[in-house]
């Protein structure tokens, strides 16, 4: 008869993912405290941003430490359109994402035509330029960006058509849907020719070019997709917090956190960025609470230590370690065929 042990790993994986999804869907029904719902929504947001970073930093192997440039671009474009012309942030979500994608193509094209860490340096430098510019300029092309004071998103009360809700649970479900969408997009990337090309580029750039892959083109597509979703995540950030601090949305802190979450969770994998967000964002909250704000940025030091550990001992991140453990259990020989 059939050896059912061969079916168990996939069955376990399916039922576990289904259970996690059901728990996430039901969570706001059991947790009524707005603070906790807000905190979990932020975790989902960072899982979304990490999944977006993974498109270029994971699948294409092009490290970026300046993705806050795209997050901030989406947040500011959408908010300024809402303030100036009353354009709903639902539309601003698309416009902000496209603006971030266009900027990504402009700064990435020259960097991708060169060898070495030029993309990493370019994104980092551009994010810093945007931060300095936005912080020191009050007016840009007729838009009042208010410099270092930041932007307040106009309050409309419970107005779903304006991407504002009276309860945090609504934001939670919107971001949960966003996270499902970007996970499906990453799954499609993995399963298509585009994903195979990115894997080839990441594994051996010269060999990929030798077999006829246009490496610059496919890296640009990955960078644009990554920036688009980061821009969309920035719009959600603006609507969730209703205030934009340029030091936060354009700052190095944001870029490093998103990158480290992905690297520690497992870059280039489907579930690694989400796992990293669910482990590391609560860790940040715990360290902030225990230290009472005494040591600002200590979470980045913790993340840095975890990155070193991951590089030395877990090259595929936490998700890779879990996969190895699962594989060891599934490889145990069955006692009898049933």
Distances (CA, A) of 86 to 92, 153, 159, 239, 318: 10, 11, 13, 14, 44
Look at residue 146 and tell me if it is in a domain: yes
Stronger pLDDT, 247 or 139, i.e. the higher one: 247
Look at residue 223 and tell me if it is in a domain: yes
Angle value at C-alpha 151, between 147 and 157, nearest 5 degrees: 170
Does residue 315 contact residue 263 with C-beta atoms inside 8 Å?
A: no
Q: Which percentage of the chain shows pLDDT scores above 90? A: 65
Look at residue 177 and tell me if it is in a domain: yes
Look at residue 228 and tell me if it is in a domain: yes
pLDDT for the residue numbered 113: 84
Grouping H, G, I as helix, E, B as strand and the rest as coil, residue 247 is helix
Dihedral sign computed on CA atoms, order 135, 98, 142, 89: negative
Q: What is the pLDDT of residues 24-42, one digit of tens each?
A: 999 988 988 999 999 999 9
Domain count, the chain: 1
Q: What is the pLDDT of residues 84-137, one digit of tens each?
A: 999 999 999 999 999 999 999 999 999 998 877 889 999 999 999 999 999 999
Look at residue 300 and tell me if it is in a domain: no
**Torsion-angle region of 212 (φ positive above 0: left; ψ -120 to 50: alpha; else: beta):** left
Q: What is the pLDDT of residues 187-242, one digit of tens each?
A: 999 999 999 999 999 999 899 999 999 999 999 999 999 999 999 999 999 999 99
Look at residue 29 and tell me if it is in a domain: no
Is the pLDDT reported for residue 338 higher than 50? Answer: no
Look at residue 303 and tell me if it is in a domain: no
State the residue range of the domain holding 180: 35-251
Is the pLDDT reported for residue 334 higher than 80? Answer: no
Look at residue 221 and tell me if it is in a domain: yes
Angstrom distance (rounded) from CA 122 to CA 287: 31
């Amino acid at each position: 008869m059939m050896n059912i042990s061969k079916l168990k790993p996939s069955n376990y994986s399916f039922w576990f993912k289904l259970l996690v999804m059901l728990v996430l869907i039901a969570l706001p029904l059991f947790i009524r405290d707005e603070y906790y719902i807000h905190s979990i929504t932020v975790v989902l947001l960072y899982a979304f941003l990490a999944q977006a970073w993974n498109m270029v930093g994971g699948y294409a192997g092009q490290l970026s430490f300046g993705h806050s440039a795209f997050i901030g671009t989406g947040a500011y474009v959408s908010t300024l359109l809402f303030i100036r012309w009353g354009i709903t942030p639902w539309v601003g979500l698309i416009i902000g994402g496209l603006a971030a994608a266009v900027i990504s193509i402009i700064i990435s094209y020259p960097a991708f035509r060169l060898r070495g860490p030029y993309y990493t340096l370019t994104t980092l430098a551009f994010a810093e330029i945007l931060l300095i510019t936005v912080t020191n300029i009050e007016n840009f092309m007729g838009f009042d960006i208010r410099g270092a004071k930041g932007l307040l998103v106009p309050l409309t009360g419970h107005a779903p058509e304006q991407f504002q809700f009276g309860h945090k649970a609504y934001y939670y479900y919107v971001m949960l849907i966003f996270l499902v969408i970007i996970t499906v997009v990453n799954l499609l990337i993995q399963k298509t020719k585009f994903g195979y090309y990115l894997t080839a580029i990441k594994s051996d750039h010269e060999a990929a070019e030798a077999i006829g892959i246009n490496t610059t083109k496919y890296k640009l597509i990955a960078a644009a997709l990554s920036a688009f979703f980061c821009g969309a995540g920035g719009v959600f950030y603006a609507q969730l917090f209703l205030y934009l601090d340029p030091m936060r949305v354009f700052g190095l802190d944001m870029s490093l956190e998103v990158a480290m979450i992905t690297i520690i969770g497992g870059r280039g994998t489907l579930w690694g960025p989400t796992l990293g967000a669910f482990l590391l964002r609560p860790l940040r909250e715990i360290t902030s609470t225990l230290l009472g704000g005494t040591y600002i940025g200590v979470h980045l030091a913790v993340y840095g230590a975890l990155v070193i550990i991951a590089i030395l001992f877990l090259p595929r991140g936490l998700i890779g370690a879990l996969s190895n453990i699962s594989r060891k259990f599934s490889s145990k020989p069955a006692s009898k065929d049933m």
